[in-house]
Homo-oligomer: A and B are copies of this chain.
Amino acid sequence: MENLIYWVGLVAVAVTALTGVLDAGRKNMDLVGVVVVGITTALGGGTLRDLLLDRPVFWLSDQTYLVVAMATTLLCFALVRNLRLPPRLFLIPDAIGLALFTILGTQVALQWQAPWLAASVLGVMTGVFGGVLRDVLCNDVPLIFMRGELYATASLTGALTLIGLQALELSPVLAAWGGMTVVLVVRLLAIAFHITLPTYTARQ
């Protein structure tokens, strides 16, 4: 199980690095810009979680994550820039990455004795912060704040499901699968049916 989580984590790093590269491409960045944005997108969420919990930063303890993120970015740069890919191709792997990072983040926070609400917030941060950094570096308003298809909402629902299931004394493994399933189902249903949240339109 441990082993499975580790490998799935590496896949999630590769997938989110890929989304970073695609976004950096829209800004005509050079190779260095693309690599920095790709790595930051892939490792940003977990790094923030580890800093806030005062844990050793995960990619400094085991640099496999860094190698995977770099290799994916360079490979994409070499291949993707000469391909024409439909953006929607990445929605499913991106949702899987979101589910994995959210659940990993929440579990780590619970292990480090964070109270439950704070743990769910840390889970959401782990899931979405890489994308926020990507958008800030590309000088956009972060997409998760605007595009409504229940991105952070899916993440929060899954984190709370995991915490609820653990409070019911379910085994951690089952609780993790439950949480991941909820993230995926909420996110994919929202994409399929264009479900969005209400928007704040200030009248000032």
Chain A residues within 8 Å of B, Cβ to Cβ: 21-22, 24-34, 36-37, 39, 47, 51-54, 56-57, 59-60, 63, 66-67, 70, 77, 80-81, 83-85, 87, 114-115, 117-118, 121-122, 132, 136-142, 144-146, 148, 151-153, 196-204
Interface residue from B28, B87, B151 paired with A204 (Cβ < 8 Å):
B87
Q: A67 CA to B101 CA in the complex, in Å?
A: 23
Q: Which residues of B contact A203 (CB under 8 A)?
A: 81, 83-84
Q: Which residues of B contact A52 (CB under 8 A)?
A: 47, 51, 57, 60
Q: How far is the CB of A204 from chain B (nearest CB, A)?
A: 7
Q: Which residues of B contact A30 (CB under 8 A)?
A: 145-146, 148, 196-200
Q: A168 CA to B121 CA in the complex, in Å?
A: 43
Q: How far is the CB of A181 from chain B (nearest CB, A)?
A: 21
Q: Which residue of B lies closest to A121 (CB)?
A: B66
Q: Which residues of B contact A60 (CB under 8 A)?
A: 52-53, 114-115, 118, 122
For the complex formed by this chain, how many copies does it contain in all?
3
Q: A54 CA to B202 CA in the complex, in Å?
A: 39
Q: Which residue of B lies closest to A124 (CB)?
A: B36
Judge whether B201 and A81 touch: CB under 8 Å: yes
Interface residue from B32, B70, B80, B122 paired with A152 (Cβ < 8 Å):
B32
Q: Which residues of B contact A54 (CB under 8 A)?
A: 54, 56-57
Judge whether A200 and B34 touch: CB under 8 Å: yes
Q: Which residues of B contact A24 (CB under 8 A)?
A: 145, 200
Q: A36 CA to B32 CA in the complex, in Å?
A: 27
Q: Which residues of B contact A200 (CB under 8 A)?
A: 21, 24-25, 28-31, 33-34, 77, 81
Q: A199 CA to B34 CA in the complex, in Å?
A: 9
Judge whether A63 and B32 touch: CB under 8 Å: no
